[in-house]
């Protein structure tokens, strides 16, 4: 795959469209031209596309059910819808131009109100940028099943509907309330160990024997060794091993272990946690995902313009919209609300291209493996496949970008009277800033670390959780109490949560909750 | 690539979720609606619109890290002056360096605002209210009849042709009369075609004879005969329609201030919305009076000034006249609402009482009397003052058990509660001294 684009080819006879109006043929033509560039020139690898045209109300609707085309019913989605609709009507919030779903075929929603230029942009952005990322990034490959998600959602919707018919809407709603409250702690952060099948077990055994034979030396037998001290597990250790404790996936633990849930309740918990797991990769790859899509649409739109397929007017319209998207206000700007993932992602992708094609002395020092390799698309494709936000920033945030953004690192210790500037964009600061920024995108850093640590099923069945309060940042108390109440209802017995300082293992705070009768479990204890 | 046009999908997919949300937040929405009813102009009281709910009510809790305390670091773009080691004064709001992280889900604890549709709004607005004595219903001639399907008929307009039924009739007739089927004819023709040679001559003649016979039969028996044709039949059904007339009586003498009129107007509008919801046809009659009464239009009723004494009975006489003239009590549900500051010429009280008890009340479904006071006169409950002439007069009538109720209102915010009191379910006509 050559990345040097052939600039000498002839210009297209006429552009794809000349007015803001579009029809289905326009979309088809745009898609085909974009596909040529994306597949042949950029070397992207995408799921087949399905583009769906929807109206405003449907867009708000899609928003409200976390972007999924079909979803079970719950009041919280109605709340979202009401909020979004009111905001939209009041003009306080525009609508996204598109929503894209990680499924096979990859479904992109485009709004009917968009102009032809915007539709082209959206197709390039969602149907190729996001699509490539979904299909290739390792986090998505590991955690999501693009082929099955729509079928699963359909199953989930029907199952929950049938539960509502059998057990009543109120009972299902209360269960879903509890499950949603715990949804943020319903993911497996690490792939679980799979038990080996017989064949691989056999193979391993053979290899081990072979190795033993190769290194066999009778002398070892005569060397006096340590007493063979077998560690006898205590009752507590055995119990914890049996229940797979500590466990950070709280809903999983509830589903498998909660003593008094009915089978249908376990199934609904499972549905909620599987959906949570499906969205877990998106949380970890905001910057990369948007960066990839933005970089791809920028490349494609420019190529279309070069080929004469986009009019100058359309190009200006695109650039205006693109600039809005990648705008990063400074920290003292009233518009500032955190780092813009589009801006950071896009800047880093462009920076990688610069490092590959036009490196400086500094780049050779910092990125010896990619500086000056010229084939930047290969590097980018590799990056998109094998990193998530945290590792990506840790690896590829260049001093050039730190300077460009003017990044600085402020430490806020509630024990001190003042904030302190730890690092700025200078020789001593680059590495610190890179590490600190990467940490911001590390799930285990921004999400509270809460684990089920112990429960004695044979005794009072009290569930004990630990929150390891990183840097002594405690949980929001009111919310924590409410969620614990839900947890106690699910568990059916008392729940105790300790907030522990991981540095010293001292308990900073404790919360307890007791189940309410008749909320989740029907029979009173 | 597929392009799917989803715009034609049925809208309102989220309606079920919305209803669940409304049910969930019902108590709060109701409260918000009642509050907003106080603040919004009563004219568009039934317009629906935005209500604001407190955030906690529909809050969805999650485990999240607190926004304060502990050690936290911020990474901010746009450094202009700082160098490593600088100290910055802590911003008062607890945010760090201007970059408050806010809540992680990006949603602040703002009040939750959303828009209610007109129907939702009015439903909540008038919830638990009930019109007393909805008994009278009648068939109205003026109302267009409703057409109902009523089987089939042999005559009708082509637009109403019942195709299925017609073809079914034709089929059974064709079978009964043994009309040859096209396949049979075709089979015969094929057979004749297949025959060749001299020896088959006899057979051939026989077959041709049969074919001719069948073709003739086909010609004689039509595929569809006029006798088969059926039309869908529609019968007119008279639809019973309940109708109501609402009499607004108001004292417009000099003692009624603009403020009092405003209160009265608000009350009338509420009553109108309410009646409108229960009856398809609601007529409104405005009667104003000083020492003489006349029927006027809405604008004059509320806006044009008038001076004179106060003789309430004139208004009742006028109302009686209008009832006799246009609104036969057998056909109409009659509601009356009277607003006044309570003054009446002393000599008129007896006449008023007898008019009411003998003529007006027997004809009325409900009679509401609203005594409007000055804003400053809004006494706390339990405060004793002298009751007005009208109030005293009406009290005696109500004690006798007439379908009548009265309340005192001093401030705009009381209108809605008073209205609710008057029409609350299962509250009959009783007096609670204000």
Between CA A3 and CA B406 the distance in angstroms is 87
Strands (E), A414-489: 418-423, 449-455, 463-468
Which candidate, A314, A300, A307, places its Cα nearest to that of A17?
Answer: A314
B131 vs B391, higher pLDDT: B391
Are B216 and B294 part of one and the same domain?
A: no
What pLDDT does residue A299 have?
Answer: 93
What pLDDT does residue A244 have?
Answer: 81
Confidence of residue B368 (pLDDT cuts 50, 70, 90): confident
Q: Which residues pair with A523 in a beta bridge?
A: none
What pLDDT does residue A10 have?
Answer: 57
Chain B residues within 8 A of A78 when measuring between CB atoms: 14, 16-22
Whether residues A78 and B14 touch (CB distance < 8 A) is answered with yes
What pLDDT does residue B430 have?
Answer: 40
Q: Tell me, what DSSP letter sits at residue A431?
A: H
Whether residues B79 and A339 touch (CB distance < 8 A) is answered with no
CB A399 within 8 Å of CB A366? yes
Burial A101-120 (b: 16+ CB within 10 A, else e): bbbbbbbbbbbeebbbbbbb
Taking CB atoms within 8 Å and a gap of at least 24, the contacts of A422-425 are A422/B73, A422/B84, A423/B84, A424/B79, A424/B82, A424/B83, A424/B84, A425/A399, A425/B79
Q: Which residues pair with B12 in a beta bridge?
A: none
Are B256 and B202 part of one and the same domain?
A: no
Whether residues B75 and A51 touch (CB distance < 8 A) is answered with no
What pLDDT does residue B109 have?
Answer: 47
Nearest CA in chain A to B5: A53
Which candidate, A250, A76, A187, A86, places its Cα nearest to that of B60?
Answer: A76
Chain A and chain B share a number of CB contacts under 8 A equal to: 260
What pLDDT does residue A128 have?
Answer: 93
- Degrees, nearest 5: CA angle A236-A239-A240: 85
What pLDDT does residue A34 have?
Answer: 92
Are B400 and B335 part of one and the same domain?
A: yes
User: Which of B17, B21, B63 is facing A480, going by the closest CB pair?
Assistant: B63
CA A476 to chain CA centroid, Å, is 23
In a domain, B142, yes or no: no
In a domain, B323, yes or no: yes
Q: For chain A, what is the radius of gyration of the CA atoms?
A: 27
Q: C-alpha distances in angstroms, B339 versus A254, B311, B367, B394, B433?
A: 64, 13, 11, 13, 17
Whether residues B63 and A483 touch (CB distance < 8 A) is answered with yes
Q: How many domains does chain B have?
A: 3
In a domain, B97, yes or no: no
Whether residues A58 and B87 touch (CB distance < 8 A) is answered with no
Burial class (CB in 10 A: 0-12, 13-18, 19+), A357: middle
User: Helix crossing, B15-24 with A75-89: angle to 10°?
Assistant: 100
Whether residues B66 and A477 touch (CB distance < 8 A) is answered with yes
Nearest CA in chain B to A401: B77
In a domain, B80, yes or no: no
Residue with token string 């299962």: B426
Chain A residues within 8 A of B1 when measuring between CB atoms: 28, 31-32, 35, 48-51, 127
Q: Domain limits of chain A?
A: 24-137, 326-444, 445-513
| Full residue range of the structural domain in which residue B49 is found | 25-57+115-122
Which parts of chain A sit beneath pLDDT 50? Answer: 1-8, 524-525
Between CA B21 and CA B115 the distance in angstroms is 13
- Degrees, nearest 5: CA angle A144-A149-A152: 125
Q: Read off the pLDDT of residues B79-126 as tens digits, 9 standing for 90 and up.
A: 888 888 888 887 765 444 333 333 333 344 456 667 777 777 777 766
Are B198 and B308 part of one and the same domain?
A: no
Are B408 and B327 part of one and the same domain?
A: yes
Q: Is the pLDDT of residue B219 over 80?
A: yes
What pLDDT does residue A1 have?
Answer: 38
User: Which of B7, B80, B88 is facing A419, going by the closest CB pair?
Assistant: B88
What pLDDT does residue B107 have?
Answer: 40
User: Which of A55, A181, A333 is facing B7, going by the closest CB pair?
Assistant: A55
Are B259 and B401 part of one and the same domain?
A: yes
State the nearest Cα–Cα gap between B55 and chain A, in angstroms: 11
Whether residues A476 and B66 touch (CB distance < 8 A) is answered with yes
Mutation for A interface: B10, B18, B52, B65, most A CBs within 10 A: B65
CB A285 within 8 Å of CB A102? no
Q: Read off the pLDDT of residues B143-162 as tens digits, 9 standing for 90 and up.
A: 556 788 888 999 888 888 99
Specify the pTM: 0.70
Nearest CA in chain A to B111: A83
**Two structure tokens written together for B21:** 């949300």
Are B204 and B248 part of one and the same domain?
A: no
What pLDDT does residue B104 have?
Answer: 36
List the 147-206 stretch of A: residues with Cβ below 8 A of B.
Answer: 169, 173, 177, 180-185
Q: What percent of chain B has pLDDT over 90?
A: 6
CATH code for the domain of B266: 3.40.50.410
Residues counted in chain A: 525
Which candidate, A35, A8, A34, places its Cα nearest to that of A302?
Answer: A34
Rounded to the nearest 5°, which phi and psi values hold at A91?
75, 15
Which candidate, A34, A32, A54, places its Cα nearest to that of A42?
Answer: A34
Between CA A97 and CA A125 the distance in angstroms is 10
Q: Which residues pair with B369 in a beta bridge?
A: B338, B406
Q: Which residues pair with B112 in a beta bridge?
A: B53
Are B216 and B248 part of one and the same domain?
A: no
B48 vs A454, higher pLDDT: A454
Between CA A101 and CA A279 the distance in angstroms is 11
What is the mean pLDDT of the segment spanning B208-226? 90
The dihedral built from the CA positions of residue B220, B221, B222 and B225, taken in this order, carries a sign that is positive
ipTM more than 0.95? no
Are B378 and B411 part of one and the same domain?
A: yes
In a domain, B110, yes or no: no
Whether residues A330 and B78 touch (CB distance < 8 A) is answered with yes
What pLDDT does residue B110 have?
Answer: 56
- Degrees, nearest 5: CA angle B7-B9-B12: 105
Q: Which of A202-206, A346-350, B134-138, B227-231 has the lowest mean pLDDT?
A: B134-138
Are B217 and B324 part of one and the same domain?
A: no
In a domain, B133, yes or no: no
Between CA B18 and CA A74 the distance in angstroms is 9
In a domain, B38, yes or no: yes
Are B251 and B347 part of one and the same domain?
A: yes
Q: Tell me, what DSSP letter sits at residue A38?
A: I
What pairing do the DSSP bridges indicate for beta strands B333-340 and B366-372? parallel
Which candidate, A122, A119, A120, A84, places its Cα nearest to that of A100?
Answer: A122
Whether residues A412 and B90 touch (CB distance < 8 A) is answered with yes
Are B343 and B371 part of one and the same domain?
A: yes
């Amino acid at each position: 795959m050559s990345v040097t684009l052939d600039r000498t080819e002839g210009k297209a006879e006429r552009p794809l469209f000349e007015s803001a109006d579009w029809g289905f043929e326009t979309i088809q033509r745009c898609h085909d031209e974009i596909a040529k560039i994306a597949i042949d020139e950029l070397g992207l690898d995408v799921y087949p596309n399905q583009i769906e045209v929807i109206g405003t109300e449907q867009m708000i609707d899609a928003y409200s059910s976390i972007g999924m085309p079909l979803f079970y019913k719950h009041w919280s989605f109605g709340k979202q819808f009401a909020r979004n609709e009111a905001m939209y009507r009041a003009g306080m919030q525009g609508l996204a131009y598109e929503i894209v779903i990680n499924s096979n075929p990859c479904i992109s929603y485009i709004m009917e109100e968009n102009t032809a230029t915007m539709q082209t942009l959206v197709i390039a952005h969602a149907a190729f940028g996001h699509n490539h990322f979904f299909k290739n990034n390792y986090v998505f490959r590991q955690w999501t099943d693009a082929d099955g998600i729509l079928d699963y959602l359909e199953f989930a919707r029907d199952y929950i509907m049938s539960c509502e018919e059998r057990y009543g809407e109120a009972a299902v709603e209360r269960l879903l309330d509890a499950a949603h409250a715990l949804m943020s702690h319903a993911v497996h952060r690490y792939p679980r160990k799979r038990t080996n099948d017989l064949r691989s077990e056999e193979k391993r055994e053979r290899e081990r024997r072979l190795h033993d034979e190769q290194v066999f030396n009778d002398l070892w037998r005569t060397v006096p060794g340590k007493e063979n001290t077998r560690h006898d597990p205590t009752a507590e250790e055995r119990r914890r091993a049996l229940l797979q404790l500590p466990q950070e996936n709280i809903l999983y633990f509830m589903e498998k272990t909660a003593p008094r849930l009915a089978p249908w309740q376990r199934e609904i918990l499972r549905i909620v946690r599987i959906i949570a797991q499906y969205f877990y990769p998106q949380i970890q790859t905001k910057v990369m995902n948007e960066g990839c899509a933005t970089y791809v649409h920028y490349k494609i739109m420019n190529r279309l313009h070069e080929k004469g397929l986009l009019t100058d007017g359309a190009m200006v319209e695109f650039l205006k919209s693109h600039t809005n998207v990648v705008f990063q206000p400074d920290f003292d700007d009233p518009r500032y609300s955190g780092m813009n993932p589009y801006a950071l992602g896009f800047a880093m992708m462009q920076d990688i291209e610069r490092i590959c094609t036009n490196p400086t002395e500094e780049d050779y020092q910092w990125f010896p493996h990619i500086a000056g390799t010229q084939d930047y698309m290969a590097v980018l494709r590799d990056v998109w496949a094998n990193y998530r936000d945290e590792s990506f920033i840790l690896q590829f945030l260049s001093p050039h970008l730190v300077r460009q953004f003017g990044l600085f690192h402020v430490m806020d210790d509630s024990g001190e009277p003042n904030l302190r500037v730890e690092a700025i964009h200078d020789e001593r600061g680059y590495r610190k800033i890179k590490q600190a920024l990467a940490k911001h995108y590390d799930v285990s850093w921004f999400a509270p670390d809460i684990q089920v640590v112990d429960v004695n099923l044979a005794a009072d069945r009290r569930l004990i959780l630990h929150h390891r309060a990183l840097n002594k940042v405690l949980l929001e108390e009111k919310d924590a109490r409410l969620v614990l109440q839900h947890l106690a209802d699910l568990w059916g017995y008392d729940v105790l949560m300790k907030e522990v300082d991981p540095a010293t293992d001292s308990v900073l705070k404790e919360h307890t909750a007791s189940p309410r009768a008749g909320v989740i479990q029907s029979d009173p204890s | 690539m597929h392009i799917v046009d989803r715009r034609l999908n049925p809208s309102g997919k989220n309606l079920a979720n919305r209803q669940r949300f409304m049910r969930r937040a019902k108590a709060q929405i109701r409260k918000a609606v009642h509050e907003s009813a106080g603040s919004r102009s009563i004219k568009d009281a039934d317009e629906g619109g935005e209500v604001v709910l407190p955030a906690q009510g529909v809050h969805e809790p999650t485990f999240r890290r607190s926004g304060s305390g502990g050690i936290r670091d911020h990474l901010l773009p746009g450094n202009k002056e700082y160098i490593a080691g600088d100290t910055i004064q802590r911003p008062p709001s607890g945010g760090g360096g201007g970059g408050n992280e806010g809540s992680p889900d990006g949603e602040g604890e703002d009040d939750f605002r959303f828009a209610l549709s007109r129907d939702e709004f009015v439903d909540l607005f008038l919830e638990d209210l009930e019109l007393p004595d909805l008994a009278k219903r009648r068939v109205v001639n003026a109302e267009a009849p409703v057409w109902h399907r009523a089987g089939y008929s042999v005559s009708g307009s082509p637009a109403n042709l019942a195709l299925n039924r017609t073809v079914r009739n034709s089929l059974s007739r064709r079978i009964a009369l043994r009309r040859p089927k096209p396949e049979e004819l075709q089979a015969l023709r094929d057979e004749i075609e297949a025959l060749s040679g001299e020896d088959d001559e006899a057979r051939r003649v026989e077959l041709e004879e049969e074919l001719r016979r069948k073709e003739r039969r086909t010609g004689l028996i039509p595929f569809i005969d006029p006798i088969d044709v059926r039309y869908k039949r529609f019968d007119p059904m008279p639809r019973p329609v309940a109708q109501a007339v609402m009499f607004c009586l108001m004292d417009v003498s000099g003692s009624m201030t603009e403020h009092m009129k405003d209160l009265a107007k608000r009350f009338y509008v509420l009553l109108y919305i309410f009646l409108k919801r229960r009856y398809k046809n609601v007529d409104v009659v405005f009667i104003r009076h000083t020492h003489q009464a006349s029927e006027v239009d809405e604008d004059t009723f509320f806006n044009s000034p008038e001076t004179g004494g106060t003789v309430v009975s004139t208004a009742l006489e006028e109302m009686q006249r209008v009832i006799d003239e246009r609104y036969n009590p057998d056909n109409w549900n009659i509601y009356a609402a009277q607003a006044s500051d309570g003054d009446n010429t002393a000599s008129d009280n007896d006449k008023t009482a007898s008019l009411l008890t003998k003529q007006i009340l027997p004809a009325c479904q409900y009679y509401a009397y609203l005594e409007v006071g000055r804003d400053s006169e809004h006494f706390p409950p339990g405060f004793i003052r002298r009751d007005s002439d009208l109030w005293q007069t009406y009290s005696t009538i109500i004690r006798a058990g007439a379908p009548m109720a009265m309340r005192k209102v001093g401030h705009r915010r009381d209108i809605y509660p008073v209205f609710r009191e008057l029409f609350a379910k299962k509250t009959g006509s009783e007096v609670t001294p204000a």
